[in-house]
């Protein structure tokens, strides 16, 4: 599981694991992931409740058989091509993280969505279409099956199967080296930040 930066946990993310949830479909955009009507909230606190809000409900507003309803408690999302396309809203990966997603395996991602995942400590790794579909089908047949994403070794293990995946170089370095959380990084280097600020001619000091 990805560490909680606010809890002072280990920032080095070399692997994440848990049960899976398949989210099939190409070009799943951020408005599907987190509908626009929930963007008005000023914090991310309730975002988990809004994840795929419309897709998870029928015409009467009752929960349907959407994978997120059937695989509650899963932490590894398995998606298809161009996942997270559309707007650059950070609310989409925030909602996934707060729902419980610690890692994502997919065919491809929108670049901004993938970068937002990196900033939250969520590995978003890629594999080819056949490999991803096979994993999605395995999850459907094995809802309690364990999946492990090895970020450093660039593999995903499930059941008796080990597959090679790709991790973007910048993402792998940030996660493995523990430098993905820029806010926590700044706090850990507060003295250096203060020293730099003090030396800036256009920043006024306290009188």
In a 3-state reduction of DSSP, which class is residue 190? helix
In a 3-state reduction of DSSP, which class is residue 106? strand
Dist. CA 17–CA 147, nearest whole Å: 5
Residue 195 neighbours by CB distance under 10 Å? 10
In a 3-state reduction of DSSP, which class is residue 37? helix
Dist. CA 90–CA 81, nearest whole Å: 19
What the chain holds in terms of domains, given with CATH numbers, is 12-179 (3.20.19.10)
- Please report which helix (H) or strand (E) contains residue 95, including its range: helix 91-99
**What are 148-194's pLDDT values in tens digits?**
999 999 999 999 999 999 999 999 999 999 998 755 444 444 555 45
**What are 12-61's pLDDT values in tens digits?**
999 999 999 999 999 999 999 999 999 888 899 999 999 999 999 999 99
The whole model's pTM is what? Answer: 0.83
Contact 98, 118 (CB under 8 A): no
Burial of 179 (0-12, 13-18, 19+ CB in 10 A): middle
**What are 63-97's pLDDT values in tens digits?**
999 999 999 999 999 999 999 999 888 999 999 99
Q: 161 — alpha (psi -120 to 50), left (phi > 0) or beta?
A: beta
Residue 63 neighbours by CB distance under 10 Å? 11
Dist. CA 56–CA 153, nearest whole Å: 35
- Sequential DSSP letters for 171-184: HHHHHHHT---HHH
**CA angle (108, 179, 101) in 5-degree steps:** 45
Dist. CA 32–CA 46, nearest whole Å: 16
First to last CA, the chain: 46
**What are 58-70's pLDDT values in tens digits?**
999 999 999 999 9
């Amino acid at each position: 599981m990805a560490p909680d930066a606010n809890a002072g946990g280990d920032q080095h993310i070399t692997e994440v694991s848990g049960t899976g949830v398949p989210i099939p479909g190409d070009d799943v955009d951020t408005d599907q992931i987190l509908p626009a009507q929930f963007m008005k909230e000023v914090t991310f606190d309730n975002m988990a409740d809004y994840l795929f809000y419309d897709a998870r409900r029928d015409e009467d507003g009752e929960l349907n058989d959407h994978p997120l309803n059937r695989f509650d408690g899963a932490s590894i999302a398995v998606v298809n091509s161009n996942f997270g396309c559309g707007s650059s809203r950070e609310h989409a990966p925030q909602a996934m993280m707060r729902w419980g997603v610690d890692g994502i395996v997919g065919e491809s991602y929108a670049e901004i969505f993938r970068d937002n995942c990196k900033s939250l400590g969520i590995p978003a790794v890629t594999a080819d279409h056949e490999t991803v579909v096979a994993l999605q089908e395995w999850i459907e047949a094995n809802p309690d099956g364990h999946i492990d994403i090895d970020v450093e070794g660039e593999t995903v293990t499930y059941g008796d199967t080990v597959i090679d995946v790709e991790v973007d170089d910048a993402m792998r370095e940030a996660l493995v080296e523990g430098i993905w959380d820029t806010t926590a990084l700044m706090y850990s280097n507060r003295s250096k930040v203060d020293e730099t600020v003090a030396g800036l001619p256009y920043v006024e000091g306290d009188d």
